[in-house]
Structure 1
């Protein structure tokens, strides 16, 4: 059947905002210090293409054409589900395709996707977490059993989105455009909320940081910015009260974590005695 355009329009909106912001920031006096970035970035130091550098360096004004804009909005491998890529990074790779992945590495990437697809097939045949949820049999189980089923459903959701996003990223790599990796780590390897949201739909997280979080003040206004960011995320998914309430509940859980981390960092800085950093650096120099 015909694919409905409004299903993918959420991602198209992100690309529209990206193009507009990148174009306006190119016209402004903002300047990205690429040399300073290369001194700290391991990717740039290794000679590979750095996505952050492509995104922040900006392009000449003549690269912001209507034809390239349409190409960016409707780029086939990323049109349905992403991953989300900024306009600067996309347009820069049209002239110079990505060189971080060789043909062999891209083939291995595709082979790993096939193995993960077989894994989810095994899960759906032998672990019936979703069947319990759909049939509502979980209402007859104990709280511990409900917890186990909920955990299994969460693992299944992670693997499902993992497969979807890596499938489209694979075809984007075949076309010469590298995008941020979604789901770079398993949810079992996320000890706090911050690391979880950085890993779950990671390309969208990078987009939010660049186009929403930093313009709102970044870490200087973190306690206020997260409310705007998560409200935007909820409205972006769909304009429903249950999603808005989910976003605000997430922020309520996020605030104590931010306060505790800030207190812990300040305490560690105050705990280091005068000249402590000099001693640490001196010892490191002797070891090296």
Structure 2
């Protein structure tokens, strides 16, 4: 039994999830990959552990909380399962949305089109996960045997450059084949957009690149949405409308365009998932733009054989980078996570082949996680030490257990189908209404988590370590800002690097991420600028997700709901309550309950019920004294949950881990 618990702890440890969580961003990769506790391998983590408070897990207060969990969690599941039974009055209204399941006697709720597209194609995706790394290994073996120049004692730099060339060449060719199979004739549309973006980044006068890059890529988001992916038939009708007489056929050009549109590959609607590609387009252009003026403080990519072998002159920047490398004595094969993102690749790496290999990298092409160009090049040259067979296998087992969890929920809880059927909410009790909303959010979380972890697992098997997108379970969040940092984490990191920091972050100073921080602002001005920047950030996030009112409302609600948290931290700063930690824990717990309710409202509006559906749900929950009493009891339960969340984070601090989310 102890072996099973030890095995489960290893599977669900933060180290298995992502080594970035158990080490600071500045920890060298070799140290970050160490499986020992964070406090034993990092001085900063050790300081965090020493300052952490004593554990509360065995106190009488928490034994009371355990009773809440033992009794209420099973009751929560029973409530929502009862609402999904066939004998419920609302069942006939959504029965048509259910499908036969693999669990005997159970139907499955596969009505969410976004997740259904992934779920129905899992066998083919698993085949691709096996085939892609296998083909790469076969190619690598063949390329190493046919290589003309083989140094007898290759240096680390030479070996890294050889690996970079080989991997980039494979990703370039495989990426072109991959999008051709996926999008058919529309692959040409994708490549045209990629080519225009590349020309913007490499050919425009440097001062125009940031504005032109952002205008072009945001414009592409709108154009893709409004045009529906630029169908050739619609374009042909603009130039050759054909006959308008009933019974007559379309012109030859229109018929030819229709035939081409029919060759749309496995995923004809390429524009739906192109949003992730847009982020990579911006990343390449901005990383190149910042690399030109990057201070001579880079420890990698110096005097590379790639530059000399390609016929390109070695620039003065390369020489400066070489000198800094010697001074700092940093190991380019073991750069920290921050350095891999921040330090630019050598100028010769910003070429068309590497650009297409990066943008079309098949494991991350469809949904991410999002990797910056600098990080991608660095990992292609030197395989991250964090990639071990044991860690990847444990991550794969964790992924399979997550899929099993989702399958059990979809077979026994029909929350998505019920919400899609727009039922008469008055037929549900207050408990059923709240649990349907609660589990709907869990399904939203899982339907995003599973594809992201699948594609990250594919990348890990292939030798690339992208950031983990989901840090915590949806039920383990009490802070609006912390929730944002931990939900779609790689996108959040991208937002911080390419939008939030250039806008000035919370301080108002503009400039690239490598620039010196701006002079500190007063507390009020700093908070005002922070809210302004967050409003701009979340507006972009909404537009990026989808161009509709529902998601704009979601983005503005998130921004508005951050305000109480910001104001609360200003009115109740932690430093003033150091002598009264229990009182401070109670006060922050009450505020966190409000945060959780606001997070649920915002995400139900943005991703599930919409504004009208949310109004109906709230009216049903608060339309009677019984409903109000139930909501009060829910707040008490949430308070208990928040106290456990606090202690989970304190437990992490005792291990030297501070995730800030």
Give the TM-score normalised by structure 2. Answer: 0.37
- 1:262 positional shift: 3.8
In the alignment, is residue 231 of structure 1 matched against residue 539 of structure 2? yes
1:100 to 374, 380, 386: 386
2:412 counterpart residue number = 126
2:346 counterpart residue number = 60
In the alignment, is residue 245 of structure 1 matched against residue 553 of structure 2? yes
- 1:244 positional shift: 1.5
Specify whether residues 196 and 271 from structure 1 end up closer, same or farther in structure 2 by C-alpha distance, changes over 3 A only.
closer
Specify whether residues 32 and 186 from structure 1 end up closer, same or farther in structure 2 by C-alpha distance, changes over 3 A only.
farther
In the alignment, is residue 268 of structure 1 matched against residue 578 of structure 2? no
Which range is displaced more, 21-30 or 224-233? 21-30
The answer on whether the counterparts of 2:459 and 2:465 sit within 8 Å (CA) in structure 1 is yes
Give the Cα separation in 2 of the matches to 1:150 and 1:244.
21
- 1:109 positional shift: 1.3
In the alignment, is residue 77 of structure 1 matched against residue 353 of structure 2? no
In the alignment, is residue 22 of structure 1 matched against residue 22 of structure 2? no
1:12 to 256, 277, 284: 277
Q: Deviations over 1:2-26 (max 9, x none)?
A: 2132122101110011111111111
- 1:115 positional shift: 1.6
- Where does the alignment leave 5 or more consecutive residues of structure 2 unmatched? 1-264, 300-329, 508-528, 580-661
2:562 counterpart residue number = 254
Q: Which has the higher helix share?
A: 1
The answer on whether the counterparts of 2:370 and 2:494 sit within 8 Å (CA) in structure 1 is yes
2:505 counterpart residue number = 218
Specify whether residues 131 and 245 from structure 1 end up closer, same or farther in structure 2 by C-alpha distance, changes over 3 A only.
closer
The answer on whether the counterparts of 1:223 and 1:258 sit within 8 Å (CA) in structure 2 is no
Specify whether residues 143 and 96 from structure 1 end up closer, same or farther in structure 2 by C-alpha distance, changes over 3 A only.
same
- 1:52 positional shift: 2.1
Q: Which has the larger radius of gyration?
A: 2
Specify whether residues 224 and 178 from structure 1 end up closer, same or farther in structure 2 by C-alpha distance, changes over 3 A only.
same
- RMSD of aligned C-alpha atoms? 2.4
1:154 to 437, 441, 447: 441
The answer on whether the counterparts of 1:138 and 1:146 sit within 8 Å (CA) in structure 2 is no
Give the Cα separation in 1 of the matches to 2:412 and 2:578.
52
- 1:30 positional shift: 4.0
- 1:260 positional shift: 2.3
- 1:135 positional shift: 2.7
**Which structure has the higher relative contact order (CA within 8 Å, separation 6+)?**
2
1:137 counterpart residue number = 423
- 1:164 positional shift: 0.8
1:284 counterpart residue number = none
Specify whether residues 102 and 260 from structure 1 end up closer, same or farther in structure 2 by C-alpha distance, changes over 3 A only.
same
The answer on whether the counterparts of 1:184 and 1:199 sit within 8 Å (CA) in structure 2 is yes
Which range is displaced more, 160-169 or 244-253? 244-253
- 1:205 positional shift: 0.5
- Where does the alignment leave 5 or more consecutive residues of structure 1 unmatched? 35-43, 273-288
Specify whether residues 30 and 187 from structure 1 end up closer, same or farther in structure 2 by C-alpha distance, changes over 3 A only.
farther
Give the Cα separation in 1 of the matches to 2:446 and 2:456.
15
- 1:121 positional shift: 0.9
Structure 2 SS opposite 1:137: coil
Q: Deviations over 1:213-248 (max 9, x none)?
A: 011111212111001000000011122222222211
- 1:116 positional shift: 1.4
1:181 counterpart residue number = 468
In the alignment, is residue 197 of structure 1 matched against residue 462 of structure 2? no
- 1:61 positional shift: 1.1
1:2 counterpart residue number = 266
Specify whether residues 129 and 75 from structure 1 end up closer, same or farther in structure 2 by C-alpha distance, changes over 3 A only.
same
2:133 counterpart residue number = none
